[in-house]
Amino acid sequence: MIMSILETKKLSRSYGTFKAVDGLDLNIEAGEIFALLGPNGSGKSTTIKMLTTLLTPTSGEAFINGYNIKTRTDDIRRIIGYVPQMISADGSLTAYENLMLFAKLFDIPRRERKQRVEEALKFMGLEEVMYKLVKEYSGGMIRRLEIAQSTIHRPLILFLDEPTTGLDPIGRNVVWEHVSALRKQYGTTIIMTTHLMEEADGCDRIALMTRGKLAIIGSPKDLKDSLKKENATLEDVFIHYTTDNLTESGNNFHNVSIERKTTGRLG
Ligand SMILES: Nc1ncnc2c1ncn2[C@@H]1O[C@H](COP(=O)(O)OP(=O)(O)OP(=O)(O)O)[C@@H](O)[C@H]1O
């Protein structure tokens, strides 16, 4: 039997009476590159925050490497890395100094720190700029530094919240290459949120969320095949599963047709 490295059972989180994540069931295998996809406000970041122990679930359960996220937060923090949406590197320090801070934070033994920091910077392609101030870095370089920071302790799972937002296609590709290399070299499981179909298409599996619930889960091919439409794209999948049924929305067919007739008369 293949062991899941991450499992959630009816995982839920409410803000007041609003259910941001509503009964999420997920199983993620070790070494997968897994994407959480969905419209703004569908609950992706809330899910990541619960799984990284930053937010307590309202109900349901989740296990990471067998540890319960409610009771084993310290154990979980030791085996995960997290790159949030917001910038987490200090611009007034060099990359080397930023990474040294994280090496101390993660209790890397003093005698190993220098070597581990240099290795991590090299792995992310930053060895030539490691003594430059981070405020002089491009967006892509900052992202790679943040990934180096969050993986200095060689976590089993790396969580990335929209890792390539705001980057140009070249910066995006470089970040993506380095993320893939982490999986290849260290077997790191990667769980990311993204709004980019192209990025999701490169993942092993995708969980498409809408209104806090799982709409569909599977490989990019499974998702496209589910539409039973020739040459379906992930964008088609996204629209199909996340756009409100016309009869459910305020702008239903009846309203739209009345509006169009009125527009026609005005024209
Ligand atoms: N601290 C909070 N208090 C109240 N509501 C919140 C809070 N954080 C998130 N929400 C709401 O919960 C819902 C889910 O938010 P979340 O940030 O998880 O969505 P998301 O899918 O990550 O969105 P985006 O793609 O825009 O990052 C949204 O409606 C959001 O407004």
List, for residues 60-98, the tens digit of each pLDDT value.
999 999 999 999 999 999 999 999 988 889 999 999 999
CA dist list (Å): 69 to 9, 54, 59, 190: 12, 10, 12, 18
Residue type, 157: I
C-beta separation of 21 from 47 below 8 A:
yes
Boundaries of domain holding 179? 4-88+153-266
The Cα–Cα gap between 206 and 28 comes to 10
Give me the count of residues in the chain: 267
Please state the domain count of the chain. Answer: 1
**Does the beta carbon of 42 lie inside 6 Å of ligand 1?**
yes
Please write the tens of the pLDDT for every residue from 148-168. 999 999 999 999 999 888 888
Bridge partners of 216? 208
Of 17 and 165, more confident: 17
Torsion of CA 107, 110, 114, 117, to 10 degrees: 0
* Three-class secondary structure of residue 199 per DSSP: helix
* Three-class secondary structure of residue 11 per DSSP: strand
22 has pLDDT over 70:
yes
Nearest alpha carbon, ligand 1 atom 26: 40
Which CATH number characterizes residue 224's domain? 3.40.50.300
Please write the tens of the pLDDT for every residue from 120-151. 999 889 999 999 999 999 888 999 999 999 99
pLDDT of residue 248: 42
Q: What are the helix and strand counts (H, E) for the chain?
A: 10, 10
Tell me the two tokens of residue 70: 């409610």
- Does 68 fall in a domain? yes
pLDDT of residue 3: 67
Mean pLDDT value across residues 1-23: 91
- Does 118 fall in a domain? no
pLDDT of residue 173: 87
Please write the tens of the pLDDT for every residue from 35-45. 999 999 999 99
Nearest alpha carbon, ligand 1 atom 2: 15
50 CA from centroid of ligand 1 (Å)? 12
**Does the beta carbon of 220 lie inside 6 Å of ligand 1?**
no
Ligand 1 site-directed mutation target among 14, 40, 208, 211, most atoms within 8 Å of CB: 40
**Does the beta carbon of 45 lie inside 6 Å of ligand 1?**
yes
Please write the tens of the pLDDT for every residue from 212-267. 999 999 999 999 999 999 999 999 999 999 986 443 444 444 444 444 443 433 33
42 CA from centroid of ligand 1 (Å)? 7
260 CA from centroid of ligand 1 (Å)? 34
pLDDT of residue 222: 96
- Does 206 fall in a domain? yes
15 CA from centroid of ligand 1 (Å)? 9
- Does 113 fall in a domain? no
Tell me what the pLDDT averaged over the chain comes to.
Answer: 88
103 CA from centroid of ligand 1 (Å)? 31
C-beta separation of 138 from 100 below 8 A:
no
44 CA from centroid of ligand 1 (Å)? 8
Of 97 and 3, more confident: 97
